[in-house]
Amino acid sequence: MKKLRTILSYKHYTTDFLDTLPKKVRDKFFWTFELIQDIEIIPKTYFKHLEDGIYEIRVRSGSNIYRILAFFDKDKLVLTINGFQKKTQKTPKSEIIKAKQIRNDYESEKK
């Protein structure tokens, strides 16, 4: 089966975050990455647009909620530093700002 999207990890940020998580949560993230790559319309349960081209990949394990923020570069989904455990109803604005800064770094390096 051909992948609809490619997921890239920008620098070491995402792997550093994933390494801090329990194996069960890491496995859920990897399953979610596969889902994002393979299906046309991704349920908001797993993938949601936040603002200005920043998306969140969403994983729940028990009562814990985890997020990795990302953005698109054409057909590639680029993962960013913003891996965090969500403790409030809304995604913290500081995490979105950080994701935008990393996207700017990524685009500057590309040129």
pLDDT in tens, 3-43: 888 888 888 889 999 999 999 999 999 999 999 999 999 99
The predicted model gives 84-93 an average pLDDT of 83
Stretch 94-105: mean pLDDT = 92
Which residues partner with 72 through β-bridges? 77
Q: Which two tokens stand for residue 90?
A: 């809304």
Give the pTM. 0.89
Rounded percentage of the chain residues whose pLDDT exceeds 70: 97
Handedness of CA 103, 50, 82, 24 (dihedral sign): negative
Residue tagged 């913003």 (tokens)? 82
* pLDDT of amino acid 41: 92
Position with higher pLDDT, 75 vs 106:
106
Q: Where are the domains of the chain?
A: 6-110
pLDDT of 87 reads 79
Residue 91 in contact with residue 111, Cβ under 8 Å? Answer: no
Q: Are strands 54-61 and 47-51 parallel, antiparallel or unpaired?
A: antiparallel
Q: Which of the listed CATH numbers 3.40.50.2300, 3.30.2310.20, 2.30.30.90, 3.30.530.20 matches domain 6-110?
A: 3.30.2310.20
In 3D space, the residue among 103, 92, 108 whose CA is nearest the CA of residue 13 turns out to be: 103
> For the chain, how big is the Rg over CA atoms in Å?
13
Q: What is the pLDDT of residue 81?
A: 64
The predicted pLDDT at position 67 comes to 94
Cα gap 16→1, rounded to integer Å: 30
pLDDT at 26: 96
Other C-beta atoms closer than 10 Å to the C-beta of 51 total 11
Task: Output the pLDDT for position 21.
Answer: 95
Read off the pLDDT of each residue in 66-94 and give the average, rounded to a whole number: 83
